[in-house]
Structure 1
């Protein structure tokens, strides 16, 4: 099989428009962070998501860290996080010597279960980080109401969901603070990158200052006649996004509708081709929200050998992955909690190719190969009822 026959799991949609934007940055003489392209990107994000402040950052993980800093999280505080997720939220909590408390997820959507969140609230709980699982927004009506009743903050981890909606509102604007990712597998990408969005301009200002070692923009200082000398009054970090990446993202955001349409068409075709396969459960999208389709996860029947299925697909040049993580089971967190739904999905989910560059012929090839592989490697079913 030649390389041209392979179908990658992910593929970034980057081309001539993005290259031209980078060339403009090179010509400007300011490739570093917090320059004119970074400022323009922040204005574009604030307008798109209708928030008071947007801060362009090097990745979503640092956005989560800065969000918790701005919200006053400290040692010993408990922050409830969605368990079935890349564990960046739990890492961010631990950065501040606080305690991540893992909430289980819904079996049908894999998004955090509001009932699990409610059961975990204690006098030490200060907030909740809600994850839009692989591009699907969670149940924000219930979660925001629950947080308000208990005086907790809510942070939306919208790393995977740029372009999705919930009850007509865009993901990234579903909680008072949101964190975005522009990693290479996201719907809009600069390779690496992120942003913090805030309804309160003070939160955004705090994050922007902390993202640059606690001082104001060097670019801004360079515009002042004279010799401005910064004063460091608090500990900060180097979390800035370069103007090179910001320029790429401005183009990517302008193309986001096109990318979403293509991903949505891929998801719809998978649903048609895989319908009725008893050994697979397909993603469910509730009627009140839309999916950004960062990933397409199918749940294998519990009697199916996932590793063997993956090996067969990869042997045919078809990329695949395990889905995401049951965070509470990761040794670094030393958690004694149990999240049975998350743990089950961690064992059974399989990610198949999903990106805007897939052709329908490739989608059909993936579906045919997947059907064949799961039938060849299935045994007695042990799937819990209703799991997605």
Structure 2
């Protein structure tokens, strides 16, 4: 049988044609015509004050910390159950990430946990739209406003999702997007900063090109303008090749998300009576982007055994995401028991826009078999029989 990969990028002829146009233009580098057009497209989509295209979401998070002038001695509360990019960004500027536990039902950051962690050194909050599901921004914004904190939305996985009728990427004063290969819209790698305040966008755009701004813009000026390096910047530019691909992908978000939703619905239906796992919970006030599909295994199930069985059949799977506070790099003082439990029991199974109904059925059948083969409960019952 053919393999069923965990992820697959939906790239085709439209994207190839867009790349060919960039080759013909003679400007494949960053902050050129395609990058500018992509930023205008994102700004319009999110109704934002500005949008800045960058090399990846990690760069966007780093630029956000710089724009808010986060410094050593500061603390930033970050969602714990996630790829730990937010905590990395806080550490990049010498500050301390403080890890907040998550809701048991959604895996998104628990507002009460955030409120309990606010202290004299707290300057901001980074919420995460966990694997595509938006967090509780009404409550989080209220906490931020009450204590004078900034709020950043890590919407890396959530392009196309919504919360209370608003689109992920527009749920806080600063949002960070990812266009990595497994996201709903992708250029292989890439990211963006979506901001309500144009001054933050201007700051991020300048810093993302070594602090001197767009070389393309400078090349259009008559004469010989010589940029001055007045502050330390970074090489976080997104190439015009990637920007051209993303201009196509952004227009396809609705189409690609609809396919992912169909896959998620089929999984939910086929797993409805399965006692050894729970499918994702989506509250009624939000929608999921389905970057990943994580099932939560019963405590009696050996997850590693299930993964081994699935991979032996060519079916991709992954542990889910990380309990960031447990990672040695951060030497965290906090305990996040819900996140730690999800880190041990969640399993990611194939989710992308190219999955067929037959492939989903095959995945479900294989998971069901693997659950029973690797459950202590069923092994005991089998032995007793």
TM class, shorter-length: over 0.9
Indicate yes or no: 2:191 matched with 1:159. no
Aligned match of 1:188 in 185, 190, 206? Answer: 185
- Return the offset for 1:341: 0.1
CA distance in 2 between counterparts of 1:85 and 1:317 reads: 26
The 3-state SS of whatever aligns with 2:131 is: helix
Aligned match of 2:366 in 369, 379, 384? Answer: 369
Partner of 2:76: 79
Q: Deviations over 1:365-386 (max 9, x none)?
A: 00111011101111149xxxxx
Aligned match of 1:304 in 290, 301, 309? Answer: 301
CA distance in 2 between counterparts of 1:337 and 1:257 reads: 39
- Return the offset for 1:336: 2.4
Partner of 1:386: none
- Return the offset for 1:335: 1.1
Q: Which runs of 5+ in 1 are unaligned?
A: 382-388
CA distance in 2 between counterparts of 1:17 and 1:229 reads: 38
Partner of 2:258: 261
Q: Which runs of 5+ in 2 are unaligned?
A: 379-385
CA distance in 1 between counterparts of 2:26 and 2:293 reads: 41
The 3-state SS of whatever aligns with 2:81 is: coil
Q: Deviations over 1:266-316 (max 9, x none)?
A: 000000000011100110000000000000000000110000000000111
Partner of 1:126: 123
What is the aligned length? 378
Q: How does 1:306-321 map to 2 (within 5 A)?
A: 306-321=303-318
CA distance in 2 between counterparts of 1:227 and 1:21 reads: 31
CA distance in 1 between counterparts of 2:246 and 2:259 reads: 18
The 3-state SS of whatever aligns with 1:292 is: coil
Q: Deviations over 1:250-274 (max 9, x none)?
A: 0001111110000000000000000
The 3-state SS of whatever aligns with 2:151 is: strand
The 3-state SS of whatever aligns with 2:38 is: helix
TM-score, length-scaled by structure 2: 0.97
Runs of at least 4 residues of structure 1 off by over 2 A? none
Q: How does 1:344-359 map to 2 (within 5 A)?
A: 344-359=341-356
Could you tell me whether the CA contact under 8 Å between 2:218 and 2:225 is conserved in 1? yes
Q: Deviations over 1:118-176 (max 9, x none)?
A: 00000100000000000000000000011100100000000000000000000000000
- Give RMSD over aligned pairs: 0.8
Partner of 2:32: 35
CA distance in 1 between counterparts of 2:140 and 2:290 reads: 22
CA distance in 2 between counterparts of 1:231 and 1:328 reads: 41
Indicate yes or no: 2:87 matched with 1:90. yes
- Return the offset for 1:50: 0.5
Could you tell me whether the CA contact under 8 Å between 2:207 and 2:213 is conserved in 1? no
Partner of 1:384: none
CA distance in 2 between counterparts of 1:207 and 1:125 reads: 22
